[in-house]
Amino acid sequence: MHIGFIGLGHLGKAIATRLLDCHHALTVWNRTPSKAQGLKAEVAQTPAAVADSGIIFLCMFDSTAVQTVLTGKDGLLSGNIAGKIIVDLSTNHFKNVASFHEVCAKAGCTYLETPVLGSVVPASQGALTVLVSGDEAGYEKVKPVLADIGKNIFYLKKTGLATKMKLINNLALGSFMATLAEALALAEDCGIAREEVLDILAAGGGSSLVLNAKRNKLLVEDFSTHFSSALIYKDLHCLQDLAYEQKKTLFTGSVVKELFARTFELGFAHEDFSAIYKVFRRD
């Protein structure tokens, strides 16, 4: 199948590579064209040029970037978009996705909010968890392609639910990561070797997908970016807005958001979010 793909950051490029490995043909666009290097794909000059594909994936940093790609100069919706399906993998603000559904419907295409759970490694293995909200007929059409990138697919039909669930998932994700990092730093301060701490946590209360995914990064302090602190901070900010709208107190999420805010102050917000370990470590 011929697929359009916009957004070649760390996660986007991993997903695009996976789609190529599954024998799909890709036309890609990224604001920085050099990000397409290494992909055996046609490189479009504008987002509008990607609209010739029947299915177009978006994988952007935030809702502002999605809005620009959709409706900005030479935006996707100015192209040959009628009848096409836009699969937005971005983690958006829950208020923005309603307008994305609306503006795409007016342009004659289908918009599916399709945030994913997982990062670069599961993306490269086709093992992401995919959440989908939007038109059911559109979902059924793209489901076989989603199965190429996702091990688990959950269809939450009502507009906004997939995005809200992604934010709620990241409450658990960010909280687990911060707790593991603090536990490691405290145990090391007590004189226990890092590798032993990680082994004990994995056999005990720290056993989790998060520790499995980030164990080696913590062990060797390789904080090359798979999913950045800047991204989890953005998501937790959106989560606070969700809690405000629901009139619910957000205890853990608010504290964890401020811990990730420290990564900006300390200068490593764009490293992997496991680098929050450095917030707790005593040098």
Q: Is 166 a catalytic residue?
A: yes
Helix (H, G, I), strand (E, B) or coil at 267: coil
- Options 13, 35, 84, 166, the catalytic residue: 166
Instruction: Find all residues with CB under 8 Å of 32, minimum gap 6, and list them.
Output: none
Distance CA 125, CA 21 (A): 10
Quote the CA–CA distance of 69 and 60 in Å, as a whole number.
9
Q: Which residue in this structure is represented by tokens 């687990």? A: 176
The one-letter amino acid at 128: L
**8 Å CB contact between 221 and 185:** no
The secondary structure element, H or E, covering residue 217 is helix 209-220
Whole-angstrom Cα distance, residue 97 to residue 103? 10
Do the beta carbons of residue 69 and residue 24 sit within 8 Å? Answer: no
> Residue 84 is encoded by which pair of tokens?
């096409």
For strands 2-6 and 55-58, give the pairing.
parallel
Q: Which residues are catalytic?
A: 166
